[in-house]
Structure 1
Amino acid sequence: MSACPFSKPANDNGCPFGTSPKSQSINEPPTGTSGGLGGCPIDNKAKDDIEDLLSVQAPRSLSLNGKVLDRFLPETYPIKINKYQDYTEILDDPQLAMAMRQGTKVVHRAAENSVFTRRFLKGDITKDEYGQYLRSLYFVYKSMEGLLELHQDDPAIEMIYFPDELNRTETLLSDISFFYGPERLAQVTDPASMTPAVKQYIQAMEEACKVNPALMVSHSYARYLGDLSGGQILAKRLKKHILHLEKQDSSWDSRAGLAFYHFNNIGNQNEFKNMYRQQLDEAPVTARTKELVVAEAIKSFELNIALFDEIQSLSDSDQLYKIDDNAKETNDNTATSKSSPQPSSLSSPLSSPSPSSFQWLLQNVSSLPALTTGVAAITTLGCVAYLRHRQT
């Protein structure tokens, strides 16, 4: 092997960057100032450099009875712990919106393979299934919006905190009341009725806040932009296939039962989305926080897919709360719910599930690790609908 390219002429001893003479025995301890190992620092990696090369750590997998939750994290996106990188320095141009958009591409496509998602987009779901969808979203949004309010002073969250324009909790309550009837509202929104996938979603957001409140930016991005992008498309599916309305009907423009998809305090939704993305791109985050935000965005999409899969599973096993058509509200207040017998309590199998009812979901729900290394993923139904609509 040739000598050090930075060495002096042949009649000089050793590399000009080292102080160890050529005659030094290989068994003698190294001397000199070049990284503490002696010899040429170009040929010999300093100890600190070697340690840094070994500092790339693979993210820990979160699993749900064999389902790996971080399977959508790109292999080319490791979390590197570099002690020489200043993780306390705020990035000049973080481009969070672009980073999350690129990071969640794969899981967006994966969401389209969800059975419930495909059926929803085809208008092939039942009222009971849609009712469960609303109930699941209600618990998720109530928790998410509570956490965003709690941490609204965080510099990153402050950039994208628009409760008057975006909050969905009250609209979901309105839609749930429409389908189940106001007299059952307290029962179907009782926290005791939360399903395992919903509990897991809420727990994940709470754990994210413990790591860094800024990670709630990921959940806000995944849910709200999906709702804004595909909401109107989904609303039309629901009018036709769930509410059985026709475009020529005078009731077609009614928002009864569809409040979730209407953002009354936003004028031009495209302009608002562009502003929201710009705010994301200017969020004051460090390089480390940016990595975690992208990973958490992927995980947020995965958690949503888990909700969809759970609804399909509950439907297949006939464990959904039933919607009584006579109990829901109507625009003209002519509902006949009072003349229809209502159950005195929720007698759904969900009230007391058997040990095997949700076996594939119950395992590991209470043992999810902290999200510093837990990185995984999932999509919103609204985003999927929007992307499919653009392709047609």
Structure 2
Amino acid sequence: MSPTVTPFSELLRRRSRSAAAPAAWTGGAHDLLAGECDVADYADLLGQYAVVYDALERAAERMADHPVAAPFVTTQLTRMPAIRADLEYLVGPDWSELCCPTPATTAYVRRLCAVAATSPGAFVAHHYTRYLGDLTGGPTLARLLEDRFGFDTNGVLFTIFDQVADPAAFEDTYRAQLDAAPWSDAEREAVLAEVDLAAGLDRALVASVRRPGAGDDRAAALLPA
């Protein structure tokens, strides 16, 4: 009897669960919003993510024609228009001028710019970490924001994937694409390692919003020398 081979998507799911990723809005961010934060704190957090998603979606544009990365690139997941609309509602039309990235956010974006626009494996690792977290944790976050701040649609557009009719089916397709990607064992290990790194960068970002400076040293320490 031949040994059972665990699909890569399952290995990634197990690794990401232990690393608290997919991280977007389901881990530290959820804890922050469930604590003693106000609308300004939430707007600050969303402003930090605006910088991250802008970098990630620019990387997606560059990866859209890559034979390995292209299957994961879809406008169904694009978050920047919703983030912009939420921040205009929460902060005003000049939100981008008022958003000051923390050093932890800058470290996160520096990593994205260094690897996600050039390495298909690294791109998929960051794409998986952010977007599957959004898709899974979005409804929970929306309810939390609605209960805490009285938001209805404005302010929670980021959490609404109106282009994804069936999130469960979408996730199944995404995981099938992970399994079909033609990576070697070494390349798969690199993807797993990048998911760990992405989760750590996310935690540092949230910590830097919770208490400015708190996540900065952690984010710097995560990055390769």
Normalised TM-score (structure 2): 0.86
Q: Secondary structure at the match of 2:19?
A: helix
Alpha-carbon distance in 2 for matches of 1:104, 1:257:
28
How high is the sequence identity, in percent, across the aligned residues? 26
* Matched residue, 2:90: 179
Partner of 2:168: 270
State how far apart, in whole Å, the 2-side matches of 1:223 and 1:149 are.
16
Number of equivalences: 218
> C-alpha distance in 2, partners of 1:278/1:213?
16
SS at match of 2:181: coil
- Counterpart residue number, 2:179: 281
Name which of 13, 17, 41 aligns with 1:101: 13
Shift of 1:359: 8.3
After TM superposition, give the deviation of residue 298 of structure 1 in Å: 1.0
Tell me, what secondary structure is at the counterpart of 2:224? Answer: coil
1:170 pairs with 81, 93, 109, which one? Answer: 81
Q: Where do 5+ consecutive residues of structure 2 fail to align?
A: none
- Structure 1 unpaired stretches of 5+: 1-92, 246-253, 315-357, 371-392
Q: Return closer, same or farther for 1:213/1:129 CA change in 2, 3 Å cut-off.
A: same
Q: How far apart in 1 are the matches of 2:95 and 2:65?
A: 33
Deviation at 1:161, TM superposition (A): 1.1
Preserved CA contact (<8 Å) 1:95 1:282: no
Counterpart residue number, 1:148: 60
1:155-195 deviation digits (Å, cap 9, x = unpaired): 22112111x2001011101000000122x224124xxx221
Give the structure with the larger helix fraction: 2
* Residue type at the aligned position of 1:159: P
Q: Distance in 2 between matches of 1:364 and 1:239?
A: 31
Query: Equivalent residue for 1:83?
Result: none
Matching residue within 130, 134, 156 for 2:42: 130
In structure 2, the partner of 1:234 is 141
Q: Any conservation in 2 of the 1:159–1:283 contact (CA below 8 Å)?
A: no
Structure 1 counterpart of 2:201, one-letter code:
L
Task: Determine if contact 2:134/2:159 at 8 Å carries over to the other structure.
Answer: yes
Deviation for aligned residue 1:366: 10
Select the structure of larger CA radius of gyration: 1
RMSD (Å), alpha carbons: 2.7
